[in-house]
């Protein structure tokens, strides 16, 4: 089966579990910036984790269905209309040939995730279809281009095993309207206790210059220790450049960095930060590595079995 793109919003990307095992060559992993929302979309359809789906920034997408299928929509709160009828978020639903699915613009959150039973199919580049626009990798054409009107998304003719609609239970759905408090693990660089307190005690604002590479924060500038060497960078790393305004790195991050690292965002809080719009506020609290490891193990057991 297939879906035809009738209209496309600001940034609609094909993503999967990411381009793993290539960072030693300077290749960013890419993948969804909100891994929890993406994981729920695939779980609703019985897909294995990391099956290719769409990451839709802000909304504004219209798709025409070319064959009967099952879809799932999670992530940002946005109006979804199937042939004039509203579709609830964080749910799976059936679509039939000839129908059109219209996704309006987000009212809360930044990115929605649309999955199909069996996933979207295209030729992988370096073992992944994840779209990385900066490095021109992945996506439908393999060249890192976002989706545009006229593109055709191929997917498996699956879904017979799905008995009916279903949705994610309310306790597991994030409220994107709330000011989040995000957990931070210790970093490798020796920031003074005064500067660490300054980071945790203030409320930070999300800069409009944020993107899939990283979220830039605005607040009272920090003073970072000097560092003379670069380190490998992981998702969630909190860099503090010379201007003292922290940057939290996301899925399209660089693979090496020389700015001092104040800490690393809890892996399960990265997606919540990525859903924060420009000018919104966030707060941070210290967390332990041991608790983060336990949380991540529970997450992987639930979604990966």
CB-CB contact of 149 with 10 (8 Å): no
The percentage of residues in the chain with a pLDDT greater than 90, rounded to a whole number, is 88
pLDDT band at 270 (very low <50, low <70, confident <90, very high): very high
Q: Note whether 155 and 118 are within 8 A (CB).
A: yes
- Average pLDDT value for residue range 88-113: 96
Average pLDDT across the chain, whole number: 94
| Contact in structure between 137 and 172 (CB atoms under 8 Å) | no
| pLDDT at residue 79 is higher than 90 | yes
The confidence score (pLDDT) of residue 164 equals: 85
pLDDT one-digit tens code per residue, 121-140: 999 999 999 999 999 999 99
Statement to judge: residues 121 and 201 lie in one domain: no
Residue 267 is predicted with a pLDDT of 96
This prediction's pTM: 0.95
For position 184, what pLDDT does the model report?
97
Kindly state the percentage of the chain with pLDDT values over 70.
99
SS3 297: helix
Same domain, 142 and 188: no
Residue 222: Cβ-neighbour burial (10 angstroms; 0-12, 13-18, 19+): buried
Q: Is 28 exposed, middle or buried (0-12, 13-18, 19+ CB in 10 A)?
A: buried
108 lies in the same domain as 196? no
Out of 172, 199, 222, pick the residue that ends a domain. Answer: 172
CA 49 and chain centroid, separation? 14
Residue 14 pLDDT > 80: yes
* Strand partners of residue 91: 73, 167
- How many Cα atoms are found within 13 Å in the side-chain-facing hemisphere of 97? 5
The confidence score (pLDDT) of residue 231 equals: 87
Residue 305 has pLDDT above 90, yes or no: no
- pLDDT interval class at 84 (50, 70, 90): very high
- Are 110 and 168 in a shared domain? yes
Indicate which CATH number applies to the domain containing 232: 2.40.100.10
Unique residue bearing structure tokens 């042939």: 83
CA distances (Å), origin 197, targets 76, 284, 287: 32, 10, 14
Q: Are 14 and 131 in contact (CB under 8 A)?
A: yes
The reply to whether 93 and 159 lie within a common domain is yes
Q: Indicate whether 183 pLDDT > 70.
A: yes
Q: Residue 221: its pLDDT value, please?
A: 96
pLDDT the model gives residue 157: 65
Same domain, 198 and 268: yes
Number of domains in the chain: 2
Domain range spanning residue 122? Answer: 2-172
Residues 6+ apart with CB under 8 A from 234: 249, 264
């Amino acid at each position: 089966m297939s879906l035809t793109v009738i209209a496309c919003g600001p940034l609609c990307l094909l993503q999967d579990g990411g381009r793993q095992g290539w960072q030693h060559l300077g290749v960013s992993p890419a993948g969804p910036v909100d891994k929890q929302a993406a994981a729920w979309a695939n779980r609703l359809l019985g897909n294995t984790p990391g099956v290719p789906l769409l990451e839709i920034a802000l909304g504004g997408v219209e798709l025409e269905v070319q064959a009967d299928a099952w879809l799932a929509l999670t992530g940002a709160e946005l109006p979804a209309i199937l042939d004039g009828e509203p579709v609830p978020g964080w749910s799976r639903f059936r679509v039939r040939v000839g129908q059109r699915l219209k996704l309006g613009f987000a009212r809360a959150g930044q990115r929605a995730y649309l999955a199909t039973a069996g996933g979207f199919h295209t030729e992988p580049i370096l073992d992944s279809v994840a779209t990385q626009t900066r490095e021109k990798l992945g996506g439908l054409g393999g060249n890192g281009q976002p989706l545009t009107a006229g593109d055709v998304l191929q997917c498996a003719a699956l879904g017979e095993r799905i008995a009916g609609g279903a949705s994610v239970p309310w306790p597991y759905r994030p409220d994107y309207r709330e000011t989040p408090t995000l957990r931070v693990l210790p970093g490798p660089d020796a920031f003074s206790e005064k500067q660490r307190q300054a980071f945790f005690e203030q409320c930070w604002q999300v800069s409009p210059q944020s993107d899939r590479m990283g979220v830039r924060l605005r607040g009272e500038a920090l003073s970072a220790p000097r560092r003379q060497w670069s380190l490998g960078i992981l998702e969630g790393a909190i860099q503090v450049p010379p201007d003292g305004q922290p940057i939290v790195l996301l899925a399209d991050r660089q693979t090496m960095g020389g700015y001092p690292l104040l800490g690393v965002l809890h892996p399960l809080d990265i997606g919540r930060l990525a859903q924060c719009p420009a000018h919104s506020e966030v707060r941070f609290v210290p967390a332990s590595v041991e608790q983060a490891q336990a949380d991540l193990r529970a997450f992987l057991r639930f979604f990966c079995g």
